[in-house]
Structure 1
Amino acid sequence: MTTTLSDFDGLLHWDALQAWVAAQDLPGSGPVTGVERLTGGSQNSLFMLHRGDTRMVLRRPPKHLRANSNDTMLREARVLAALRGSAVPHPGFLAVCGDPAVTGAAFYLMEPLDGFTPMGALPAPYATDATFRRRMGAEFVHAAATLGAVDHVAAGLADFGKPEQWLERQVSRWRSQLEGYRDTPGYPGDALPHVDTVGDWLERHRPSTCRMGIIHGDFQFANVMFDRERPRLVGLVDWELSTLGDPLLDLGWLLTSWTEAGDPAVAGRGPAVTPWDGFMSRDELVRLYGDISGRDMSAMPWFFVLACFKLACLLEGSYARACAGKASVDMGNFLHNYALWLMAKARQLAE
């Protein structure tokens, strides 16, 4: 009996995909017999494939490709393959296909993770046990420090980014990103405040040295999965912004997603998850990272400000696209408000 599988509006081309699966050294045997689309990932598409008694996750770009969509998929696959066998919690890499003829775009297969992404209302027992919530912070830090400890050269990722003058390039790189939105139709070019103030502070207080390593690039609640029964981070996901840089930037990125008394008040910005009581403080996260990594953490305020600055510049791109009618207005406004909070926090830290 032949099973007809959904192509999800042209995202999966089954004749070519089944032939490709059969030619790879993958778990299971025979053709793919079932498929479901998974939630998660604002840009790319995820599908659970069933092959015999095994499951695999296929990740591919959206139907309407951006200029770098295929390259991004290949970079994600490359970093996951490089992390194979490491202590970094991540989905196991299975195979990659760079030929768009197979299913319309580059894609890769990975092992599924058993867990949940903590966003919004936490499920029990995380919602009912404050010790679980406290442990979540420690798990984040352990994952960041473990990734930061990977020897990127030994892992075959020496050319995965541009380590030369990394510190010196950061402010100009993200200012340039922001400037690139100015010509977007409908976008007010001065919509993001404090850019000069924060950028100048970053230039004046730039650390004298940094340590290169692999950075996830978007290290926050939306891009991790936790075990459902015990407070354990089971995997970092969505590696599309991964590159080389100082791993302290990942920790700074995490601090931007934290909520504490005294943070700037911006409409619509609240805790990433609820309930929030019981979570470690930012200072505790920083101290724990230093204890695990052995690093001097005195430059951490600079990396926190840089994370705020960079993320605000990136989020403003979604707002610019919304102003031009190329993205959801509601989402654009939400992300713009978050960018306003980030710049307010950056200025607060700088002061």
Structure 2
Amino acid sequence: MGNPTEPARQGVALDAARLARWLDAEQVPGAGELPVIERLTGGSQNELYSLTRGGERTVLRMPPAAASASRVDGLRRELRLLRALRGTDVPHAELVAGDPTGDVLGMPFYVMRAIDGWSPTATWPAPFDTDPAARRGLAFELVDGIAKLSRVDWRARGLEGFGRPENFHDRQVDRWLTFLGAYRFRELPGLDEAAAWLRANRPATFEPGIMHGDYQFANVMFQHGAPARLAAIIDWEMTTVGDPLLDLGWALLGWDGDEPRTEGFYLDVSGMPRRAELLEHYERVSGRSTADIDYYLVLANWKLGVVLEKSYAAFTGGGTVDPKVETFGPLVLQLLATAADLARSLPARRG
């Protein structure tokens, strides 16, 4: 356990007494008790702390002490989103309370229910490591999560202005090419070909909804044991109001056509359902058509390649020493080649 009064936080200590008074005011269980605070690992964009008080465990999430203004604003957006998701059937860590002002601890933060579950890494835990039937359920549960998210009435839940869904697809290519232009340092075969196809084949219409923005196995948690049950969607940093079908395309990056990939993916997805089964499940739960899924698959591969290239550019320039980022170099090329190959195989629908 960490020190209950002053856990290290990059030179800034959490004031347990002040936090306790705020928890009391928010009517969080354990009135009058100092929370036992323990620093957690696993937060990439924000810091995580376990709070134990009143016999209950919650998790506090806040930006690091030296966070940029954009990261702080991102935390506030997460807090707003979690308020909006209260009472929905979307699996998530339920919001307990939050402070968007930063007056309590020096940074905005929020407290959420702790999730007792696991998040996929390089391997599956038992029984999903050896039982193909159980592993099938993981994929259905993954798709189920974003299908439920997509049907949340975002306007009724106070998310007007949370994103800019108008002309969402008209902006995608130019936005991400501009993003890439800030750090591009090498030739990227397939980039321009896929971009041209995306411009010419934008969906004529779409129904705006909440989209996670980075939806994949690594950003969800499952309950322990079989059958597979989605416990929570996590890491909401890129969430906006846009086109939820892009989340579906992102979730299906582990499939090659109708079948799960046998190589080139960060998880072993052998034994997973066929893509057609997952599309059918998504349509049934969300009420949305997946007729244009090929567009979203091209966009997902292309956009992910652009995003990962930023990390790889920093690595080659000595800006990061994380050894796993070195693997992004060939992965980016693979993603852009996949986007271009898929675009080349599809008939043009517009333009």
Which AA in structure 2 matches 1:13?
Answer: L
**Cα distance in structure 1, aligned partners of 2:117 and 2:231:** 7
1:177 aligned to 2:179?
yes
Render the CA deviation track for 1:278-308: whole Å, top value 9, x for unaligned. 1112232223212333332221100111111
Which residue does the alignment assign to 1:9?
10
1:254 aligned to 2:251?
yes
Scaled by the length of structure 1, the TM-score of the pair is: 0.89
**Cα distance in structure 2, aligned partners of 1:93 and 1:257:** 31
Cα RMSD, aligned residues only = 2.3
Q: Secondary structure at the match of 1:289?
A: helix
**Cα distance in structure 2, aligned partners of 1:32 and 1:193:** 57
Which residue does the alignment assign to 1:322?
315
Which AA in structure 1 matches 2:251?
Answer: L
Q: Secondary structure at the match of 1:339?
A: helix
Cα deviation for residue 62 of structure 1 reads: 2.9
**Cα distance in structure 2, aligned partners of 1:288 and 1:3:** 46
**Cα distance in structure 2, aligned partners of 1:166 and 1:33:** 44
Which residue does the alignment assign to 2:214?
218
Scaled by the length of structure 2, the TM-score of the pair is: 0.89
**Cα distance in structure 2, aligned partners of 1:113 and 1:254:** 22
How is 1:175-214 mapped onto 2 (pairs within 5 angstroms)? 175-182=177-184, 188=185, 190-214=186-210
Q: Secondary structure at the match of 1:76?
A: helix
Check 1:318–1:101 CA distance in 2 against 1; reply closer, same or farther (3 A cut): farther
Q: Secondary structure at the match of 1:59?
A: strand
Which residue does the alignment assign to 1:120?
122
8 Å contact 1:263–1:345 — kept in the other structure?
no
1:333 aligned to 2:326?
yes
Q: Secondary structure at the match of 2:104?
A: helix
Aligned mate of 1:236, from 224, 233, 238: 233
Cα deviation for residue 142 of structure 1 reads: 1.1
Check 1:191–1:228 CA distance in 2 against 1; reply closer, same or farther (3 A cut): farther
8 Å contact 1:221–1:272 — kept in the other structure?
no
Q: Which moved more, 1:118-127 or 1:242-251?
A: 118-127
Check 1:335–1:20 CA distance in 2 against 1; reply closer, same or farther (3 A cut): farther
Cα deviation for residue 71 of structure 1 reads: 0.4
Which AA in structure 1 matches 2:338?
Answer: K
**Cα distance in structure 1, aligned partners of 2:79 and 2:4:** 29
Q: Which moved more, 1:280-289 or 1:216-225?
A: 280-289
How is 1:121-140 mapped onto 2 (pairs within 5 angstroms)? 121-140=123-142
Count, aligned residues:
340
Check 1:260–1:20 CA distance in 2 against 1; reply closer, same or farther (3 A cut): same
Check 1:295–1:21 CA distance in 2 against 1; reply closer, same or farther (3 A cut): closer
Q: Secondary structure at the match of 2:342?
A: helix
Q: Secondary structure at the match of 2:69?
A: coil
Q: Secondary structure at the match of 1:206?
A: coil
8 Å contact 2:260–2:272 — kept in the other structure?
no
Check 1:302–1:133 CA distance in 2 against 1; reply closer, same or farther (3 A cut): same
1:227 aligned to 2:223?
yes
Q: Secondary structure at the match of 2:232?
A: strand
Render the CA deviation track for 1:39-90: whole Å, top value 9, x for unaligned. 3232222111111211110111234312301100010111111010001001
Which residue does the alignment assign to 2:94?
92
Which AA in structure 2 matches 1:248?
Answer: L
Which residue does the alignment assign to 2:84?
82
**Cα distance in structure 1, aligned partners of 2:249 and 2:325:** 24
Identity of aligned pairs, percent? 41
Which residue does the alignment assign to 1:185?
none
